Chain A
Amino acid sequence: MNLTRTIVAVLILALLVALPFGLGQYGYYLMAIVMIYAMVALSLNVLIGMGGQISIGHAGFWALGAYGSALIVTKLGFPFFLGVLAGGLIAAAFGALVALPALRVQGHYLAIATLGFALFVQQVLFEWESLTGGRQGLFVPRPSLFGFELRDDFAYYYLLLAIFLLLAWITGNFARSHSGRSLMALKMSSVAAECCGIARPKHIIIAFTISAFFTGVSGALYGHLLGHLSTETFSLAISLSFLTMAVIGGLHSRAGALLGGAYLALAPELMREFKDVQMVIYGVTLILCVQFLPRGLISVVERVWTIGTTPHATR
């Protein structure tokens, strides 16, 4: 069992390494976007898949990461890597701040708070012209590594892949850790978990903070890829798209996060002709997925895989 898992992981990795060859500039860019989105999907795996909490404001954390890193690199002259890390940490701090008040109440308050938060962040970034450039936006330097600028998205893609793998590894560790399992226990039955000595507020704050950190890192990396930030990017629509891709890819699997990232990055390319209805299609696929494939597209892949490899499977 463990062996097949390793083989699958190696195969996926080989595919990810080989994929960009021969794709051309735009292909590299798209592949980079896949990775950036997949990091957000990973963050929603932690929050929704393990924590059972929902956020419709991840654009807010994405924006904080992007603007945070851009400003720290341009205004303070920090190196790119530290900028990205700082972007993640700023987002994480705000993640904890948003989760804190909503925790005292059960139910959907946290989701509502995240919605308000994302709109608030977008507006502050827009109004605070002296810092963020407001309407004009903000120029962001290209990523650089040890003094070398990664001018090409081909090279940047491999850096993004490495960061994605790092975050995926952390996610896996978290899922096996006591904190992660406490979080999943709270999702299964919060009453039972609390009566086992597991503190609900603490673990939901942890989930929210990790999730916001991943998203902030992704946003920071995205800003350096685009080279220019404007507040319109961080709209409600992108929050909702994030949610869609995470659910469609699969909320309980790191490979699912990758699939979700690919969906969100590539679907617009395939749906060029019906640009107007693209979001409608997202909405429809989201509902169909929740109804018929609650574990996401990856569950189909897994099922096909198990049928192919273990004919005597009992379950």
Chain B
Amino acid sequence: MITQLLASGLALGSVYALLALSLVLIHKATDVVNFAQGEMAMFGTYACFALLTKTEFPLPVVMLAAVPLGILLGVATERITMGPLRSAPPVNALIATIGLWMIFHHTAGWIWGYDPVRFPSLFSPEPINILGARVAQNSLGIIAVSLLVMVLLYLFFEFTRMGIAMRAASQNRRAAQLMGVNVTRISLIAWGLATAVSVVCGLLIAPLTFLDFEMMLSVLLKAFAGAILGGFNSLPGAVVGCLVIGVVENLIAAYVSTAFKDTFAFGIIIVVLMFRPQGLFTREIVKKV
């Protein structure tokens, strides 16, 4: 029982982690928190579902198609909305992402309807035996896919030219600019990459919750909580933070009550901000003049 709970908690947490990674990725690259990230994930997932039902491609193919689709969605969104705001005060970009939130949220409902739809899963919910413990296959599948995405991200930032440039830019924007790193390009890539990751997140969560235009709100809140737990500036921090959130959520739902399983994240956000605002893993930040 407890291993089941832990495994499904970790699975949930790794889904949150994907969305949190998207949030932190864009924040590190451009200083913008994209409040529409969850809605973009939901929109991409609906698009994949349309592809699935219209073309009858097999599910794994559609899941692979999610990556270019997400990149396209992210890049187009960045170009149209964020590009013109690059020199505006930061609060304007924040407001624009809230506009995006409304657009994606209600366009999805408008096109695809407001009723939840069953979304097929790659993995069966049947438990299997691992080292004497019974663990649901779909938990393992979700963890595996998330892990794969994280490894790919790691390889990108560690070994590709663009990834290294992005890391440099996030540490010192002015210096990176002087070294010829193109800020516009970095923002585009961050949005593309982040949206692709978040669409994968949507595809993993849709089979668990049904595909629904409301499905990402609670995920967004928990991704925020996880990211804040991890300091909001560190990709591994966000992953660990979200895993903690996923496990805690499952334990609360099993042993306390399911009523507040979505809003407990708010409690975590407040507690972290009060006692350890820099997150669990990072040092206190200093202001740059």
Contact = CB atoms under 8 A, between A and B. Distances in A.
In the complex, A touching B (Cβ < 8 A): yes
Interface of A: 48, 52, 54, 56, 100-102, 104-109, 111-113, 115-117, 119-120, 123, 127, 191, 236, 240, 243-244, 247, 276-280, 282-287, 290-291, 294
B266 A120 contact: yes
Given A240-B101, A280-B103, A105 B278 contact: yes
B84 A120 contact: no
Interface stretch (B52-60, B85-93, B191-199, B245-253): B85-93
Given A116-B265, A287-B81, A109 B273 contact: yes
B263 A48 contact: no
Contact of A101 (B109, B260, B270, B285): B270
B224 A112 contact: yes
A285 B81 CA distance: 12
Contact of A290 (B85, B109, B259): B85
B99 A286 contact: yes
B105 A287 contact: no
B9 to A, nearest CB: 20
A101 B263 CA distance: 17
Given A119-B262, A280-B103, A291-B84, A101 B273 contact: yes
Given A244-B99, A287-B81, A52 B263 contact: no
B96 A286 contact: yes
DSSP class of B's interface residues: helix, strand, loop or mixed? helix
B99 A283 contact: yes
Nearest to B111: A276
Nearest to B110: A276
B106 A279 contact: yes
Q: Which of A48, A117, A282, A283 has the most CB of B within 10 A?
A: A283
A58 B232 CA distance: 24
A116 B100 CA distance: 19
B143 to A, nearest CB: 26
Contact of A113 (B96, B106, B273): B273
A116 B99 contact: no
Contacts of B106: 276-280, 283
Contact of B266 (A111, A119, A282): A119
Contact of A291 (B85, B110, B265, B278): B85
Given A108-B94, A283-B99, A290-B96, 12 more contacts: A56-B35, A105-B285, A112-B33, A113-B266, A116-B221, A116-B266, A123-B260, A240-B98, A240-B101, A243-B95, A277-B106, A283-B106
Contacts of A247: 95
B160 interface: no
A230 to B, nearest CB: 18
Interface residues on B, range: 35 or more
A287 B99 contact: yes
Contact of A276 (B102, B109, B263, B287): B109
Contacts of B35: 56, 111, 115
A59 to B, nearest CB: 13
Contacts of B215: none
A283 B95 CA distance: 10
B102 A56 contact: no
Nearest to B273: A101
Given A111-B33, A112-B228, A294 B92 contact: yes
A108 B102 contact: no
A254 B109 CA distance: 35
B266 to A, nearest CB: 3
Contacts of B260: 123, 127
A277 B104 CA distance: 11
A106 B287 CA distance: 9
8 contacts: A100-B274, A105-B285, A108-B94, A116-B263, A127-B259, A247-B95, A279-B105, A282-B102
Contacts of B177: none
Contacts of B265: 116
Contact of A283 (B89, B101, B266, B285): B101
Contacts of A115: 35, 221, 224
Given A106-B287, A123-B263, A290 B99 contact: yes
A205 to B, nearest CB: 14
A54 B97 CA distance: 12
B63 interface: no
A176 to B, nearest CB: 23
Given A52-B91, A291-B96, A101 B33 contact: no
Contacts of A112: 33, 224, 228, 269
A219 B167 CA distance: 46
B171 interface: no
